[in-house]
Structure 1
Amino acid sequence: MRKIGALIFPGFELLDVFGPMQMFGLLADDFSLELVAETAGPVTSNQGLKAFAEKSLGDGGHYDVLFVPGGAGTRREVGNPRLLDWIAHSSNTAEFTLSVCTGSALLAKAGLLDNRRATTNKAAFSWVCEQGPQVDWIPQARWVEDGPFLTSSGVSAGMDMALGAIALMHGKDVAEKVAKWCEYTWHKDKTNDPFARIHGLV
């Protein structure tokens, strides 16, 4: 059983969080899920809906998998040293660290991705790159795996990465079963990202 700590903050992107959590949550014998925020309680997403964080940063929870979404709120949170310190500490004690969309900007700003390969939302690619000049940012990637770090492109790409993470931890057959249960077409080729071309990055 791996415990996933999914970070949320004001302005987080709904699908960044709940698309991947749908995938992991179907494997109830393998994963437990917990939302964590700077302050426990309701947190407003970029779409206006609120999610309830059971835990705060100060609760001292340990997570086997740290999950960091993106969203408009990341542009504020890159300047939040308390949050960045928590991300760095939680990642250092986790087995895996996953990010979706501009969540990789928070990982980069926390110093976790230096000298590693990573990707992000292609529409925000330039801004994210500025947050981590020592990161090897990959423009043509649906998601990137580098050691314990998995980073994905924007929004819906997080579901493809989550299935990739499930395949990494439990095998491709299990990941394919989850995709079937969700009636989701899994884009298995992590190097195939049409949005890189749409946004002029390749």
Structure 2
Amino acid sequence: MLSPTAKHHVVALVFDDYETLDLHGPIEMLGHMSDTHISLIGNQSIVRSYQGPRVVTDIQFPAVVECDLLLIPGGIGTRTLVNDKSLIDWLVRQSGVSKKVFSVCTGSALLAKTHLLNGTSATTNKMAYRWVTGLNSHVIWQPAARWVDDGKYLTSSGVSAGIDAALYYIKQTQGEAEARRIEQLTEYQWNSDRGNDPYAVDLFQGDAK
């Protein structure tokens, strides 16, 4: 349940074989914001990450929850979930009651299977770039971006990029001083330049996979 004193509610999707850092990196940063409550939502009570550790969900499908931020991690589990119509339908409904939608890594593949990113600039894990971008040609995919913020949708590149994008979101909503406070608190060297993408793909050289 949402704490009565919480002013900022984050809902994070979890599913079997999600990438551990995709979820726990951003929520480490987001969880240091004051008056923030984080809820995990999934299709079962216990969910296993790709690396093995398990988490317990607070909310289960088909519930949707009004929130300030919906966080969608990626991971190998997205390879099958893109074909799960019930999950994709739920994602459309949940996004409708979320003020901001934030995907990490191949979490953007799930969004790409909906109509939600059509006409929107977005990015994804560069190692999976060809697969994800092939799911929806109506998205304006960015091959060189650590993260992309286009209105309601914030999408980040692979795994650790989600931490950088989470700090950007904190700066956007709480101010740069708060983002820098959390950066120092966690002793994390923030790549605060969204255009500084050392893993960008060169589409003309065929480096995208």
TM range (shorter): over 0.9
- 1:174 correspondence with 2:181: no
- 1:34 correspondence with 2:76: no
Q: What secondary structure sits across from 1:95 in the alignment?
A: strand
Summarize the alignment of residues 95-114 of structure 1 with structure 2, pairs less than 5 Å apart. Answer: 95-114=99-118
Conserved in 1, the CA contact under 8 Å of 2:65 and 2:97?
A: no
Q: Which portions of structure 1, spanning 4 or more consecutive aligned residues, are displaced by more than 6 angstroms?
A: none
Name the amino acid aligned to 1:25: G
Name the amino acid aligned to 2:42: A
- Cα distance in 2 for residues equivalent to 1:130 and 1:60: 28
How far does residue 197 in structure 1 lie from its aligned partner after superposition?
4.7
Match of 2:12 among 6, 10, 13: 6
Conserved in 1, the CA contact under 8 Å of 2:10 and 2:37?
A: yes
- Cα distance in 1 for residues equivalent to 2:50 and 2:135: 21
Summarize the alignment of residues 141-152 of structure 1 with structure 2, pairs less than 5 Å apart. Answer: 141-152=145-156
Question: Structure 2: any 5+ residue segments left out of the alignment?
Answer: 1-6
Q: What secondary structure sits across from 1:195 in the alignment?
A: coil
**Residue aligning to 2:4:** none
Q: Which protein has the bigger helix share? A: 1
- Cα distance in 1 for residues equivalent to 2:141 and 2:120: 8
Name the amino acid aligned to 2:21: L
Conserved in 1, the CA contact under 8 Å of 2:18 and 2:50?
A: yes
Question: Structure 1: any 5+ residue segments left out of the alignment?
Answer: none
- 1:120 correspondence with 2:124: yes
Name the amino acid aligned to 1:141: A
% identical equivalent positions: 41
**Residue aligning to 1:200:** 207
**Residue aligning to 1:80:** 84
Name the amino acid aligned to 2:41: V
TM-score after normalising by structure 1: 0.95
After superposition, what is the alpha-carbon deviation per residue over 1:79-132, rounded to whole angstroms, capped at 9, x for unaligned?
A: 111111111111122110000000001011121100000000000000000112
RMSD: 1.3
TM-score after normalising by structure 2: 0.92
- Cα distance in 2 for residues equivalent to 1:118 and 1:143: 8
Aligned residues: 199
Q: What secondary structure sits across from 2:22 in the alignment?
A: helix
Q: What secondary structure sits across from 1:28 in the alignment?
A: coil
Name the amino acid aligned to 1:16: D
| Residues 1:89 and 1:60: Cα distance change in structure 2 (over 3 Å) | closer
Q: What secondary structure sits across from 2:154 in the alignment?
A: strand
